[in-house]
Structure 1
Amino acid sequence: MTTSKAEQLKNQIAQTATQTPAQQKPLTPSQQVGAYLEKMMPAIQAVLPKHVTADRMSRIALNVIRTNPKLLECDINSLMGSVMESAKLGLEPGLMGQAYLIPFKNNKTNTTECQFLIGYKGLIDLVRRSGQVSTIEARVVYENDVFEFEYGLDDKLIHKPTLTDKGAPIAYYAVCKLKDGGSSFIVMSHQEMLQYRDKYAKSKNFGPWVSEFEAMAKKTTLRQLIKYLPISVEFLGVNDEASGIEVHRELENSQMVDGGFIPTIDGETGELVK
C-alpha cells in the first residue's frame, strides 16, 4: 500500500515536471503583479526609509493594484517603476492620501501606463519628516477678515477671521513654525492664484480647480512655501544622500492630487480626462 502511494506521488511529480507551458495554468494579472513585487523586494528594501518595511510597502501596493482593474492593465515596467517611486519616498499609495498610482492611456504607444503622484498628505509628511518643522498649515483670507502682513527683516502676519458674512476670498497663505524658533510664510492674492492656475494647471475648466478651488489654492501656497524652507537632505529620513537629493527635488517639483480627486490622464496631451 505504501509502495503504491509512493509510486503515485512519483508519477505526479514527473507529470508536473514534464508539463509544457501550454498545459500549465496561466497566471492572472494579479498573480503576475504579485510575482513581480516578490522579486523586487530586495530593491524595494534598499531604497525605503527606515520607518517603512519592504513587506508592508509591497502588501499595500499589491492591495491598491488589485482593487483597481485599470492598474492591472498597466505596462508592468511603468507600474513597478511607480511602486519604486513610492517606496523611495516612503509614501504609502492608496486612499490615505499620501500617494497615488494613477493609470493613464498613452496614446502615442497605445498602452496603459502608471504614473506616481504625491498626495497632499504625503507632501506634508515629507516636510514633517525632516524634523525641522513643528507645524505647517495653509489658510484662506476672506474680504471681511482682519488681515495684515509685511515682508522684511521682521516679517509680520496677522489674521483674525470673521465668523459671519465672510465675503469672497481675497488671499491665501501658508505658514510654518521651525523647531529652532523661527517661522516662515508666503501670501498669494486671489488674482495671483488665478494667474498661477491659468499658467500651470493642466485643467482649469473642470476638476478640483473648479470644485475645490480653495483646497487647491491652499496646497499651492504650501508648495511655494516648501521651496524656501531650510530642509537639508540629511534630515529627510532616507538611506543615502542620493535618495535624499531626489526627495528634496520631489518636494520642490512634485505633482499633487487632492485626496478626493483621483484623475485619469491622457498620455498624449497630458490633460486630465473628465
Structure 2
Amino acid sequence: MAVQNKLANSSGKKLPFTVAIQTDGYKRLIQNTLANPKRAARFVTAITSAVSANPALQDCDAGTILSAGLLGEGLNLSPSPQLGQYYLVPFNDSKNHRKTAQFQLGYKGYIQLAIRSGQYKKLNVLPIKEGELVQFDPLNEEIEVQLIQDARQREGAATAGYYAMFEYTNGFRKALYWSREKMESHARKYSKGYAAGKGYTFWEKDFDAMACKTMLRQLISKWSIMSIEMERAITNDMTVQHEDGTAEFIESVESPVSEPVPTAPTETNQEPQETEVQEADFSDVLGE
C-alpha cells in the first residue's frame, strides 16, 4: 500500500502536514493502517509534535512525512527528537520540485531493535576519550582502557576514537574500534556536506552521535543475526517513500550522500545526489 498525498485545498496547493493529517482522508488511512484507535491517536499526536518541532519539515510533502512516520511506528520506535530513536529529516528534491521527509534511524533506535531480539547478552558503543585507550588488539578484538572517572571531566575531554561490541547469549562476540581520524575520513568520504563544511549536517551537529550510529551499523549489519525488524530498519534507513510504493535511497553511511535541509532560516541549494530506487512494499513494514 502506498501512502497517497493528493489532498489539496481549493487552489490546488498541497496542504501543510499539520492540516493534512487532520483531514478525513489521512485519518482513515492512519486508522486503517494501525487498526487500534488508541495507537492511531497516539501516533497522530507524536508525529504532529515532531513536525511542529522542526520548522523545515513544515514545507515537506505531507505524504512523505506520513510514510516515514508510519515506517517508524511499524518498528515501534518514537519520532521524539529527545529519544533519538529515529528522525524525520527534510530534503530538497529538486528533480520533482518539492521537499520530502526521510526516515533516518538513530543509534538509540539500533539499540532498541537489538534489545528486542533477545539475542544479545551485551551491546555497547562508546566514544573513547584522549588518554583512555591503552591498546586495542584487532586480532582478538580485546580492548584495554583506563576511563576518566570524573564524569564532567570525561564529558569535556576530546574524543580519540569509538568502540562498539556485542555478545550473544550463545557466547558469540564481536568488537570494533575506529580512531577519530578514521571516522573523520569516513564522514568526509560519505558526506559531501560535511566535507564542504556546510554547517548543517548531522556530522557537524553531533559528530559523536553519528559516529556511534556508524559503529553500530558497521557491527550489526555485517556480523549480527538480524531480526525482521532490524532488517526492515536498515533497509529503509535514510530512504524516502514514494506514492507508488518505491523507496528512494537518499543517504547512507555506505554510499555517497546528500544532506538535510538546514533548520535555520536560510535556505540551501544543495541538491540530492543521483540515487538508486529500490522497490519496496510499504505495507509489509506496517504490520502489527
Whether 1:173 and 2:163 are equivalent positions in the alignment is yes
User: In terms of mean alpha carbon deviation, does 222-231 or 194-203 score higher?
Assistant: 222-231
2:89 is matched by which residue type in structure 1? I
Q: Taking structure 1 as reference, are residues 227 and 267 closer, same or farther at Cα in structure 2, changes over 3 Å only?
A: farther
Counterpart in 2 of 1:10? none
Partner of 2:261: 264
Distance 1:90 1:219, change over 3 A: same
- Pair 1:118–1:135, CA change in 2 (3 A): same
In 1, distance between residues paired with 2:233 and 2:158?
37
Contact 1:126 1:251 survives alignment (8 Å):
no
Is 2:206 the partner of 1:216?
A: no
Tell me, in whole angstroms, the C-alpha distance in 1 between the residues paired with 2:131 and 2:231.
Answer: 43
Q: Which of 52, 68, 85 is residue 71 of structure 2 equivalent to?
A: 85
Aligned with residue 156 of structure 1, among 134, 139, 142: 142
Q: How many residues align?
A: 229
Structural RMSD (CA): 3.8
Aligned mate of 2:235, from 225, 249, 269: 249
2:107 and 2:216 in contact (8 A); partners too: no
User: Which letter maps to 2:125?
Assistant: A
Residues 97-143 of structure 1: CA deviation (Å, up to 9, x unaligned): 22222333333333232222222322221222221123322223345
Q: Which of the two has greater helix per residue?
A: 1
Pick from 129, 135, 143: which aligns with 2:122? 135
Cα-to-partner distance string for 1:178-228 (whole Å, 9 max, x where unaligned): 223333210112332122111112422234534543343333222211223
Q: CA deviation at 1:29?
A: 5.8
Q: Structure 1 residue aligned with 2:179, among 189, 192, 195?
A: 189
Distance 2:215 2:32 in 1: 35
TM-score under structure 2 length normalisation: 0.63
Q: Map Cα deviations across residues 4-58 of structure 1 (whole Å, 9 max, x no partner).
A: xxxxxxxxxxxxxxxxx98xxxx98634322343111355327x9xxx9344223
Alpha-carbon distance, 1:251 to partner: 6.9
Structure whose CA Rg is larger:
1
Q: Which has the higher contact order (CA 8 A, sep 6+)?
A: 2
Residues 1:225 and 2:219 aligned together: yes
Give the distance between the partners of 2:53 and 2:209, measured in 1 at CA: 27
Q: Distance between the aligned counterparts of 2:237 and 2:225, measured in 1?
A: 10
